[in-house]
Amino acid sequence: MGSNRTTTLRCIFTMLGDPSGLSHAEAADSLFLILDVFCGRNGPCSETLTEAKGHRWGWDISDVFLFRSNDRLAQIQEPGRSLIHIPSTGPGYRGVSDDSNFAGDRRESFNLRMPQSMSNELCGMGENRWPSSAEWNEEFRSSSEEYFQLCFQTCSELRRALAHEKCLGPFLGSEANSDRAFARSSSLLGFTHYNYNDFKPSAGYVVADASEQVFGIRPHQDDGLCTLLYTDGQPGLEYAKCRSAGSMFFAESCRSDEQFSKDILWEEVPFLPGHWIVNLGTDLFRWAQQRSKETSDCRSCKATLHRVVPKCRERYSMPFFYEPNLDAMDPCQPHKKRYEYLIEDAK
C-alpha cells in the first residue's frame, strides 16, 4: 500500500457530503444506496478490487482464501447465565456451503472482527486470526485494519445522517444511546469468493415449488444497520425491486422461504468503480420502526433484500457489516437482543 491510498481514503468524508441532505424519501424508499468512496474530487476512479491489488493493498484478495483458519463462534456472557454461543457469526474462514445460514451457497468467506486497536471492550466476537508466516500478512493486517476503521467511521456518519430529524429520526432516543449501542460493536469485515467453476446444481436449494436454485448467496437481508459493499465488478448481485411484496422486506428474520418466491422482481445492482453499494439491514428496520409508530409522518425503513446469482465463473467482494453490540436491545416490541435474533436466524 502506498501513500496514494491514504490520500484517496481521506476524501470519503467530504464526498459523503452534508448529512442532513439525505432526504427521508431516499432513506425509506431506496432499497440500496450508493456512496462515493475511493474517489477523489475529480470524478470517479476506475479501480476495482482486482486492479487495485498491487498498488493499493499490497496483497491479493484471492490469497485471503488460502488461509483457512477455523471459524470462531461468537459468544456472550449474560449476568447469571452460562456462556451463550452464537453460531455462524464471528471472525474466521467458512468454506463453500459451510455457513449454516447459507448452506446451499457457492461461496466461501473470511471475516475479521473489529481490530483491538479500535476498542478494548469485549465485543464477544472472539479473536481475529492472521496467517502466521505469509509474506503478505503484515501488509494485509495493517491495511485491512485501516479499511475496517474507515468503514466503521463512514457507517457511523451514515447512521447519524439517517437519524437526522428530516430523515428517519433519532434512534434509541438519542445519538448518545445509539453511539453506546456500538461501543462493543460486532461489525465484521468480510472477504467473499464465489467460485462457479465446479458448479453442481444439485447442491443448491430446493424451494417451495420443488425446483432447484443455485446461488452465489441466497436471497437474504443483512442483519446490522447497514453494509458497505465493494466488489470486483463482476455481475451477479441483484436486489429485490417488487414493492408489493412488503412482508418480505419487513421480515423479522434475515432469511425466509418467502424470499425464494418467483413473484419477486430482481434487478442487477450496477457496479460503479470507486463507490460502495450500501445495503440497509434488519436492525435499521427495527430501530426506525420505533419512530414510525410514534409519528404519522414517518414510515419504517426497508432492509435491502438481495442475492448473488451465478453470472460469471468467479467473483470476489468485500462486504463490511456495520453491526451494533450483540446485546443491543430492540427499541420496540418484542424488545429482543441482537444475539437472540442471530441464534434464531441460524436455526
Ligand X SMILES: O=C(O)CCC(=O)C(=O)O
Q: Among ligand X, Fe ion, none, what does residue 278 contact (CB within 5–8 Å per kind)?
A: none
Could you say which of 308, 326, 328, 342 contacts ligand X (CB under 6 A)? 308
Handedness of CA 28, 34, 36, 37 (dihedral sign): positive
Q: Which among 74, 104, 91 has a CA at the least distance from the CA of 325? A: 74
C-alpha cell at 236: 451477479
The pattern of x and - marking residues 133 through 172 that bind ligand X according to CB under 6 A reads ----------------------------------------
Residue 304 neighbours by CB distance under 10 Å: 27
d(CA 194, CA 196): 6
Q: Which among 262, 232, 216, 243 has a CA at the least distance from the CA of 305? A: 243
> 290 and 331 in contact (C-beta within 8 Å)?
yes
> 305 and 280 in contact (C-beta within 8 Å)?
no
d(CA 39, CA 10): 10
Choice between 35 and 308, CB closer to ligand X? 308
37 binds ligand X (CB under 6 A): no
- Count of residues touching Fe ion (by CB under 5 A): 1
Could you say which of 306, 310, 322, 338 contacts ligand X (CB under 6 A)? 306
Could you say which of 222, 223, 323, 330 contacts Fe ion (CB under 5 A)? 222
192 binds ligand X (CB under 6 A): yes
Point out which span in 178-186, 198-206, 229-237, 330-338 binds ligand X (CB under 6 A).
229-237
The pattern of x and - marking residues 167 through 206 that bind Fe ion according to CB under 5 A reads ----------------------------------------
Q: How far is CA 259 from each of CA 56, 84, 213, 251, rounded to the nearest angstrom?
A: 37, 29, 12, 9
310 binds ligand X (CB under 6 A): no
Could you say which of 40, 126, 190, 273 contacts ligand X (CB under 6 A)? 190
217 binds ligand X (CB under 6 A): yes
- Residues of this chain that interact with ligand X (CB under 6 A) are 190, 192, 217, 222, 229, 231, 237, 306, 308, 317, 319
